[in-house]
Amino acid sequence: MKKLLSTLLPAALISLGLTSVSQAEDRFANVEVKAQQVAGSIYMLVGSGGNIGVSAGSDGLLMIDDQYAPLAQKIAKTLSELSDKSPNYIINTHYHGDHTGSNAFFKENKGTTIFAHENVRLRLASGKDVNSASLPVVTYQDGIKFHLNSETIHVFHLAEGHTDGDSVVWFEQSDVMHTGDLFFNGMFPYIDLGAGGSVKGYIQSVDTLLDKINSNTKVIPGHGALGNKADLQKFVGMIKETYAFVQAKKVAGMSEEQVLKDGLESKWDNWAWAFINEERWIKTLYQ
């Protein structure tokens, strides 16, 4: 599973040297997009990239994120098994391509309206050779609320966490929360320090989420298996402990190279994966 997750984030595309559309399409040729029912009309779609959240009901379809562009038609096919309606709305939890890659497909082919925090549109618009159809049409600063499929759907912004444009989505009646990349279930997270993310901000954002949920809340992570409050507590506990561990060494005068040589405690070995291994996680914590 963790080897498969090496395909999840945009930087992985660079590391694999994928320089053409045909190569990308080959890479995703064998990916299956599967739906898992979470609660009532709420589903989680797993393929390659960020987990997709879906509300499918009599009022139509709402999606949270949409993975990579080459998977758009596979995503649409899986959605068709949940509803005979096209997606009305997409909410982007942040700007990374494994969460926004299929924006243009759904906007151009399905008439879907895309929502996101203002910084998501700004970062997408600043990309090279950007397709304007991929840009969110409706943006917000603090959040927005949807009333759809007998759900009150709360979308709210948390600053300086994974990026500077993070949104979290909570389905009030079903008590399901989609965290975007503020939760990597059982894995070291990717914190985009170059796009407004920070370790301290990430911890603060996750603590804010924990205050909003209870033991019954089902939590759709940005990456990894469906979780709950206990999983999220374990996750942020890991971040706090490893951050304190690395910072203590830094304060003691150890260089990044020395900390890397010593490594983390062995109990964190299973949290490493192909994209965020121990070395990269230590570098994030040290910076």
Distance CA 68, CA 110 (A): 17
Q: In the structure encoding, which two tokens stand for residue 110, read together?
A: 């399905």
Distance CA 45, CA 64 (A): 10
pTM of the model: 0.91
φ/ψ (deg, to 5) at 275: -85, -45
Distance CA 176, CA 186 (A): 19
Domains and CATH numbers, the chain: 4-237 (3.60.15.10)
Helix axes 199-212, 229-251, angle to 10 degrees: 150
pLDDT value at residue 215: 98
pLDDT value at residue 26: 83
φ/ψ (deg, to 5) at 142: -105, -35
Mean pLDDT by 10 residues, the chain (287 residues): 46 41 73 97 97 97 98 98 96 98 98 98 95 97 98 97 98 98 98 98 98 98 98 98 98 98 98 97 97
Give 235's contacts (C-beta < 8 A, 6+ positions apart): 183, 184, 185, 186, 189, 206
- Asked whether 56 and 81 are in contact (CB, 8 A), the reply is no
